[in-house]
Amino acid sequence: MNSNAICVKQRKTEKKINKKKLLSSIKRNKLYYLLIIPGLLYFIIFHYGPMFGIIIAFKDIAPFEGVKGIINGPWVGFKHFVTFFQSYYFWDVLGNTVVISAYRIIFGFPAPITLALLLNEVKNQKFKRTVQTISYLPHFISTVVLAGLITTVLSTNGGIVNEIIKKIGKEPIFFIGSTKYFRTILISSGIWQGIGWGSIIYLASISGIDPQLYEASIVDGANRWKQTWHITLPGMSNVIVIMFIFAVGSLLNAGFEQILLLYSPAVYEVSDIIDTYVYREGLISLRYSFASAVGLFKSIIAMTLLISTNYLAKRFEQSGIW
């Protein structure tokens, strides 16, 4: 028997052994696998199943044609992509999406990390729990309610902010309709809503750091700042990198719901993003194929960013998401 035949036989034997191990593992942990089924079905039905509709980005279909239109619609190749790239709105919506998302990363990403580090330094447990509870609460406010609160507080007709402005002798400002203030309102309200909830995972990673490291650093004369810089932050680094990869991967998700509820034609110049453009073109103008092409373009860019960031994290010897 030659060496090739021996290798083939060894591979077949290894496959049989691996198959037996897999079946044995499934049989031994069958209850755990049963728990996975509902989540698996959710992703298959609501995430992977709808991917079939991606093909309409390469077809021309009329509204209300349904599945028949998806299957029988004429192929047009990259026509809708070219139309979008040559559109007057292309650079505006792409620029606004990137700028708003970049602001969310620059100002929003470090916010929960900072809060977690500050809470870690609090020794009064009652005060710490109170702060945590207060900071978590905004997360449970729906985006619709949040938009209503912002609109009410900043209203020119009875809004508390403009009432204060009037008291000091200034003219009221239409914050929501101002291109100067809209992005600031958007980013700051998003940080306020998510900072507490986002800090949970970082607090969990801090709690997993060996207390003996802090005790040894005290013996060596390290103060709280040095302990934070040399022990706490390195101990959180893997979690921070993973969360940063996710943040970059969702760079083009600039906060569709919040923007849709707050923006108006007066601030399209600084607020119109890819998602709101897709909404208008797809659901209002009924240009389903064109809107699908724009959405697919966004998804491809997001996937590229996710893979690239994960690759860079691996190159710098940090834990990636795979």
What does the pLDDT look like over 160-210, one tens digit per residue?
Answer: 988 898 888 888 888 888 888 999 999 999 999 989 998 989 998 888 888
What pLDDT is attached to residue 321?
63
CA 205 to chain centre: 20
What pLDDT is attached to residue 111?
92
pLDDT-above-90 percentage for the chain: 12
Please provide the size of the chain in residues. Answer: 322
**What is the CA angle 159-162-168, rounded to 5?**
140
Look at residue 272 and give its three-state secondary structure.
Answer: coil
The pLDDT of residue 112 is above 90? yes
Give the pLDDT band of residue 113 (cuts 50, 70, 90): very high
What pLDDT is attached to residue 7?
62
What pLDDT is attached to residue 6?
62
Q: What is the DSSP letter of 283?
A: I
HEC string for 48-94? HHHHHHHHHHHECCCCCCHHHHHHHCCECCCHHHHHHHCCCCHHHHH
What pLDDT is attached to residue 110?
92
- 322 or 273, greater pLDDT: 273
Task: Give residue limits of the domains in the chain.
Answer: 3-52, 79-315
The pLDDT of residue 290 is above 60? yes
- State how far the Cα of 131 lies from the Cα of 120, in Å rounded to an integer: 12
We find that the CATH architecture of domain 79-315 is Orthogonal Bundle (1.10)
213 and 294 in contact (C-beta within 8 Å)?
no
